[in-house]
Amino acid sequence: MTQDNSPEKIKDAVKEKYGGLAEKQLAAAQRACCCGPAQSCCSGEAGLAESAANLYPTAQISDLPDSVTGIALGCGNPTAIAELQPGEIILDLGSGGGIDCFLAARQVGADGRVIGLDMTPKMLDLARANAKKQGLNNVEFQYGYIEDIPLPDDSVDVIISNCVINLSADKDAVFREAFRVLKPGGRLNVSDIVTQGDLPEIVVEHLSAWAGCVAGALDEEIYLEKMRRAGFASIEVINRKFYSSDMMAADDDLKKLAAEKNLSLADLDQKIASITLKAYKS
């Protein structure tokens, strides 16, 4: 029986997965008040996301609360290449628990502004609680879809996004909207999952694999071509890191899917990569 993989079903599956992770982190943060530091809430459940300690230099994240670093769900470090300047307006597409927004907030300073956009209400609750905990007033979190960004044309200096666009069923709309809200000369700095060639049909069809950042990943060339078609120029892939089958086996959903469907994760070796790229609205 084939699954209903309509854009609405995909959004529901993604919201359910990330809402559940946010809820666990909120609960862990409450427990941490009386029982010691919160642990990462997500090991094994967070798709191909890596721990904050793997993604960010220690000096960059050492003073962030556990409730931020414990729910880093990215696959790169987009602010590291964004060259953010004091006073700039930054938009984070799919901000999750807010880690990249908080790193950006330091760089743009009191005269700058960071907007985190997310469609999962529990993630927004968590991100807002995390901002309050740090006393930040240059960061705000807005509810909305990256395919329909609730901001005016030409209003943002820099867009960042970490492991989110692969989750969208309409990547053309995401890039079109990103281009629309960027000011002329604005920059896009993205970390995301892409593939090299096609994945087995069994994986692509599976909603849990979509929510785990695998099934929705596009072939890298197709991804870059969609960006060009939206108008982005000077696109440069700065980093590319392939996932090994051992790393994929750490993803509970993928492991379960492989066991159910008799799929060898070794068949996916060197087929899925995390890339970090820059592009410009000229």
- Residues in contact with ligand SAM by the rule CB under 6 A: 14, 18, 49, 72-74, 94-97, 99-100, 118-120, 123, 145-147, 162-164, 167-168
Residue closer to ligand SAM by CB (options 133, 261) is: 133
Let me know: does 238 contact 277? Beta carbons within 8 Å.
Answer: yes
Let me know: does 115 contact 142? Beta carbons within 8 Å.
Answer: yes
Residue closer to ligand SAM by CB (options 159, 164) is: 164
The residues, any chain, with a CB within 8 Å of residue 237's CB and separated by 6 or more, are 220, 224, 275, 276, 277
Phi, psi at 195, each rounded to 5°: -115, 165
Residue closer to ligand SAM by CB (options 103, 266) is: 103
Phi, psi at 84, each rounded to 5°: -70, 145
Residue 265 exposed, middle or buried by CB count within 10 Å (0-12, 13-18, 19+): buried
Minimal distance, residue 280 CB to ligand SAM, in Å: 21
Minimal distance, residue 19 CB to ligand SAM, in Å: 7
Residue closer to ligand SAM by CB (options 240, 261) is: 240
Nearest alpha carbon to residue 186 among 280, 83, 84, 71: 280
Minimal distance, residue 127 CB to ligand SAM, in Å: 9
Q: Report the alpha-carbon distance of residue 91 to residue 77 in Å, rounded.
A: 15
**Hey, what are 217's tokens?**
């990943």
Residue closer to ligand SAM by CB (options 86, 150) is: 150
Residue nearest to ligand SAM (CB): 96
Q: Report the alpha-carbon distance of residue 67 to residue 41 in Å, rounded.
A: 9
Residue closer to ligand SAM by CB (options 93, 199) is: 93
Angle, CA of 75, 56 and 180, to the nearest 5°: 55
Minimal distance, residue 93 CB to ligand SAM, in Å: 7
